[in-house]
Chains A and B, each alone.
Chain A
Amino acid sequence: MSAAAPSTPSTSTTPTPAGTRTLPAVTEGAGVWTTGPRGALLGLGVGAILLLVVAPMTLSGFGLDLLGRYLCMAMVAVGIGLVWGRGGMLAMGQGVYFGLGAYIMAMHMTLADTTLEGESIPTFMRQNGVDRLPELWGIVQHPVVAVAAVVLVPTGVAGLLGWAIFSRRVKGAYFAILSQALAAAFAVLIIGQPVLTNGSNGLSNFHSLFGWDLSDSTNRTILFLVVAAVLLTMLAVTWQLYRSRFGELLVAVRDQEERVRFLGYDPALVKTVAYMIAALFAAIGGALFVPVVGIISPADIGVVPSIAFLIGVAIGGRATWLGPVLGSIAVSFAGTQLASVFPSFWVYFQGLLFILVIGFLPGGLASVTGFLRRRKTSETIEMEVTR
């Protein structure tokens, strides 16, 4: 396949949303943010200095809170990069796992505040005519249980769902639709249980996290540092994953699932594990989003936010290591800035950029330099992404 060819006709019968396009090889060399060990260390080091030192010293409290929110969204993007970019599974419902993590954390924080304030049940429940704490809430009362639930519940759900879906060889657009329907159903479920979840109002008005005062500025800075450190850790983990046997297998499954099966591997297992990791990252992002932003509502977890998570990933470059995270942060930042200047138009800018990238630069902005370099040398390996 010629490197300069912008697109090739599809040879697969699988319906593909973006058509069959060439994507830079993800193994070695190609793509500006697909780096070797030295580059990875450098990338993480620069990121660590920027986030852990420069940001807390230069940004105002408000700026730090905003950046904290961007980083939480970026955690979801890292997971999407893994399943979509590397695994070829267009996960359009990551809001489900983001929401699970967020709601578990929010339930715990609401309960902790209630206890500290000397009440037995949260105010919204009392106003809904409930006089006993529902058992589902009682479970997450203890902080250790809550943190364990943030990790275990979403990965468990993703494991069960993933295995059920992938072992039946559901893929391509069918998987995308299924995952999106999940997000829609989950939001409806949350809204429809006002006694348990406070419905469309969501959970908000948190004062403490594990006993620490959330309005204290030192605590807020520490919270930001934790968020930044968690994101950096996720990036280190993904970098290792991408270089591991599992990472190679995942790409192989994306590009030639049948061949992988003939070689004796179970593609369903590989895909399920990737899906579980993405769910875990999304859940951690959600759990940290709650103390940083101070609210979680169904509007943050449904279909629209689930798709919004994809935009940054696509723009940054879904198959690259740092593309999703940088794309996600850039899109969030642009959103905030543009919305202040053009309150009613900014969404169109975002949509236009998304269309342009999907249409003309399927590898995302990360592939720009690789694309240019290839034009010169035409010596790079290319792979076909069919879904």
Chain B
Amino acid sequence: MSPRATLSAVLPLIAVLVLTGCGERYDPEAEAAAQQISPESCVDTEGDTVKVGLLNSLSGTMAVSETTVNRSLNMAIDEINADGGVLGKQIEPVTEDGASEPTIFAERASKLIRQDCVAATFGGWTSASRKAMLPVFEAQNSLLFYPVQYEGLEASPNIFYTGATTNQQIIPALDWMREQGHKKIFLVGSDYVFPRTANRIINAYAEAHDMEVVGEEYVPLGSTEFSTIVNKAMASDADAVFNTLNGDSNVAFFRQYNAVGLDAQSLPVMSVSIAEEEVPGIGVDNLEGQYVAWDYYQTVDSPDNQEFVTNFKDRYGQDQVTSDPMEAAYTSVYLWKDMVEEAGSFDVAAVQEAADTGGSEFDAPEGQVSVDGENQHISKTPRIGRIREDGLIDTVWQAPEPVAPDPFLDTYSWAGSINGA
């Protein structure tokens, strides 16, 4: 009896393996050609509404940050709907939870495209979530709008990057530090791709600009043990710290930093992952006077930003703050609308075409932004900020005009070791 049981299960396996003669072999060139002509999308543009996907982590470790992005996306959609929609159609958001896990992001993205038939998707935060979704959007030929600053070195035709790439955040920060006379830099970061890439850029930059990296330390994501690192920073002859820590680690880092008597006067820290919404969690006491680099702060003085901040507070509460990723997400919905209307269609190829030719623009809260058709990033205005005692951030320096995105750092002669060129 028992051999039969085995046979009954093994037979189908063999049958299946024999069947394996039917599918197509993989050919990269044919694949690339097929993607140009076969948008077999199920997007329904016949009715009065058009669906878009909102894919943010509403649970898990990233929920605190990504929930605020989800809110500003919803706000932008409601504003556009109140104003007549896109191509006369009301936007209908479909919300999915990325659960702070790359695999879930990929699966939900697939669901939004294939089951809900959304015209575009907005979301993602960590680089891991973006890298996980990229193949899904490319294979299904759909569009993702990604709103967070990141490590660059990527330009998928199916992704619009509305956060800063490295030449709009890290390089301006280094330029500014050099101008301030900081020559010896201590690097501290979480152990994942963004800090590692950022620090490779900083090392290459330092070498080309007569600066010195006097220490480079990594901790696992979420680590809270910094006494060794803080002591190393103190013992080194660094005159500034460049901080690429992410999330909760910042709380422990700054607390221990202050505990040994270091502060913004004795050894300033430049952070690239601390925005307005993270400040209260870390504690303003620990952060006052320290520097950050972004492209937007709540304090940006412009009518567009005042309206954005007021509307957000009216909608979600007066104690809410606005931050760079939220602003980039808000902006991304308007840029999508602009490109769709320029194309006169929700079709992916048509929108890409509009991006290539039209140079879509939007008067965003951060100032004017425009889409670069070649790499699908946007031009943005880098700003160095200083944390105030009330937790908001003042701009201490800003670029005179928007900086064109250069995700592969092709225009920087010293960056050859980074882009592999």
Which residues of A are in contact with B by a Cβ distance under 8 Å? 37, 40-41, 44-45, 48, 52, 60-62, 65-66, 69, 113, 116-118, 126-129, 188, 191-192, 194, 198-202, 204-208, 211-216, 218-219, 222, 225-226, 228-230, 232-233, 235-237, 239-240, 243, 293-295, 297, 299-300, 336, 339-340, 343-344, 346-347
Contacts and interface: CB of A to CB of B under 8 A. Distances in A.
B399 interface: no
B191 A299 contact: no
A66 B13 CA distance: 20
Contacts of A128: 196
B88 interface: no
Contact of B131 (A201, A212, A225, A228): A201
Given A211-B25, A222-B19, A205 B135 contact: yes
Given A60-B114, A222-B19, A239 B5 contact: yes
Given A198-B193, A204-B132, A213 B24 contact: yes
A60 B13 contact: no
A336 B9 CA distance: 28
Contacts of B115: 60, 62
B26 A208 contact: yes
5 contacts: A41-B4, A45-B8, A200-B221, A233-B6, A336-B107
Given A200-B128, A232-B12, A299-B101, 8 more contacts: A44-B9, A116-B28, A126-B420, A199-B191, A204-B134, A222-B20, A226-B20, A344-B59
Task: Indicate the member of B12, B25, B200, B419 with the most A CB atoms within 10 Å.
Answer: B12
Contact of B192 (A126, A199, A214, A294): A199
Given A52-B12, A294-B135, A299 B23 contact: no
B99 interface: yes
B313 interface: no
Contacts of B193: 194, 198-201
Interface string B120-153: 0000001110011011101100000000000001
A40 B96 CA distance: 40
A66 B10 CA distance: 24
B235 interface: no
A90 B93 CA distance: 44
3 pairs of A and B residues whose beta carbons are closest in the complex: A219-B23, A343-B97, A208-B26
B21 to A, nearest CB: 9
B221 A191 contact: yes
B197 interface: yes
Contacts, number: 198
A214 B1 contact: no
A129 B417 contact: yes
A192 B20 CA distance: 38
B104 to A, nearest CB: 8
A214 to B, nearest CB: 7
Contacts of A37: 1-2, 5
A212 B5 contact: no
A61 B114 contact: yes
Contacts of A41: 1, 4-5, 8
A293 B417 CA distance: 33
B102 A297 contact: yes
Contacts of A206: 135
A191 B58 contact: no
A64 to B, nearest CB: 11
A194 B132 CA distance: 16
B128 A201 contact: yes
B111 interface: yes
Nearest to A293: B103
Contact of B19 (A60, A213, A225, A340): A225
Contacts of A237: 6
B86 to A, nearest CB: 25
B80 interface: no
Interface in B180-229: 191-193, 196-197, 200, 220-221
A300 B97 CA distance: 17
Interface in B243-258: none
Contact of B17 (A226, A228, A295): A226
Contacts of B19: 222, 225
Interface string B144-171: 0000000001000000000000000000
Task: Indicate the member of A65, A117, A235, A344 with the most B CB atoms within 10 Å.
Answer: A344
Contacts of A52: 12, 16
A218 B24 contact: yes
B24 A219 contact: yes
Contacts of B153: 127
B90 interface: no
Contacts of B134: 204-205
A287 B227 CA distance: 41
A331 B231 CA distance: 47
A171 B421 CA distance: 54
B421 to A, nearest CB: 10
Nearest to A235: B9
B9 A117 contact: no
B106 interface: yes
A41 B1 CA distance: 9
